[in-house]
Amino acid sequence: MRFILTALALVTSLLAFKPATAEKYPDRLVTMVVPFAAGGATDAIARALANQMSKGLGQQIVVENHAPRAERACMYRKPHPS
């Protein structure tokens, strides 16, 4: 009798728990950072890759181009008076 009650308690406790379900990944917008200026070959490749990745993931991927620091520094540098 004790065995039956123990088995019944075990089965009841197992039925009370439901399996955990994972959330859909990724659940936020995905950003791909390209460390070069826009308009070059690297930009074109990154955008083509992002397009294929978004089809596979089912999530939109945004491509952000960030020029290297040296290039940005040259844009803001004042000309040297000669």
Mean pLDDT by 10 residues, the chain (82 residues): 81 73 75 86 93 90 78 51 46
pLDDT at residue number 76: 54
Question: Cβ–Cβ contacts within 10 Å for residue 61, how many?
Answer: 19
How many domains does the chain divide into? 1
CA–CA–CA angle 30, 40, 73 (5° rounding): 85
pLDDT at residue number 82: 40
Phi, psi of 63 (to 5 degrees): -100, 125
Q: Record the pTM.
A: 0.55
Considering the domain boundaries, does residue 1 fall inside one? Answer: no
Considering the domain boundaries, does residue 9 fall inside one? Answer: no
Range of the domain at 70: 21-82
Token representation of residue 13 = 């406790």
CB 12 within 8 A of CB 30: no
Considering the domain boundaries, does residue 7 fall inside one? Answer: no
Considering the domain boundaries, does residue 15 fall inside one? Answer: no
Considering the domain boundaries, does residue 76 fall inside one? Answer: yes
pLDDT at residue number 51: 94
Considering the domain boundaries, does residue 5 fall inside one? Answer: no
